Amino acid sequence: MIIYGVNPVLDCINLYSEKIVKLYVSKRSINKFSKKQLGMIKDISIEYLSDREFENLSKTNNHQSVAAEIKVNPIMGLSELKQNINDLGKVVILDHIQDPQNIGAIARTAVFFGVSTIILPSNRTASVSPGSVKSSSGSIFSVNFYQVSNLGNAIDELKGKDYWILGAHLDGDDYKDAKYDKFIDEKIAIVMGSEEKGLSPLISKNCDILVRIKRKGLTNSLNVNVATAILLSRFLS
């Protein structure tokens, strides 16, 4: 995978330099690297490109004359989920989130709260991409992603290992309700739907608990990453 832009590439160098296969820079952009960063990449292949070559490589003009070819953790499926079921820790499930930048932002939020497992459907969803790597500020490398053809099957597997499935839903109870204190730091999977459609009806029915974030102003909804952060903060304190 090719990522581009000064900050995403520098984040990758600082935190996950072992993931970098090759760097692409221009004669001027190499000056944006600190001496420490240059030392960290001394064994990595570097290729100098023109602006036009960068546009051909990145398919955008927002490359800032810096790009990197990186190794991304393979996305696993239901069979691997079953194999690793005892080592998943806390889980975030994303029900047809279609913006790759939201995927990356949620990955960053998940890592902040100590979550390293994200489950996605295999269709009608965004996945790991250069855009999600960029919006995650590199945190996406610390997440194990599973894509399954049927989220309900993944939820059933989690329930079989005593996970509580908590879904964000407009018809749910207030997430602050004291009756939910007992779920703090329990085996829990938080399910988030898209901003446009929310949770699908079948997934909603499969949740043990439905909660909502009560609004106090005129805005009808939150960005899904912001909502994810609020719920993770509540239940993974």
Q: Give residue 136's pLDDT.
A: 85
Q: 219 pLDDT exceeds 80?
A: no
Which domains are seen in the chain, by residue range? 2-70 (3.30.1330.30), 78-235 (3.40.1280.10)
Is the per-residue pLDDT at 218 higher than 80?
A: no
The pLDDT of residue 52 is 83
At 26, the pLDDT band (50, 70, 90 cuts) reads: confident
Strand-by-strand arrangement of the 45-48 sheet:
2-4, 66-70, 20-25, 45-48
pLDDT band at 85 (very low <50, low <70, confident <90, very high): very high
- Please, what is the Cα angle at 108 between 63 and 78, to 5 degrees? 105
Mean pLDDT calculated for residue range 205-233: 90
The 91-95 sheet, strands edge to edge? 144-148, 117-121, 91-95, 188-193, 164-174, 209-212
Is residue 194's pLDDT more than 90?
A: no
Q: What is the mean pLDDT of the chain?
A: 88
The pLDDT value recorded for residue 106 is 96
> Cα separations (Å) of 2 from 16, 22, 63, 115, 186?
15, 9, 11, 25, 38
What confidence score (pLDDT) does residue 60 get?
A: 66
158 backbone dihedrals φ, ψ, rounded to 5°: -65, -45
Each residue of 32-75: pLDDT tens digit? 788 888 888 888 888 998 888 887 887 766 677 888 888 878 88
Ranges 137-146, 153-162, 216-225: which has the least confidence: 216-225
pLDDT computed for residue 237 by the predictor: 66
Please report the pLDDT score of residue 231 as a whole number: 96
Residue 44, token pair as written in the block = 């990595």
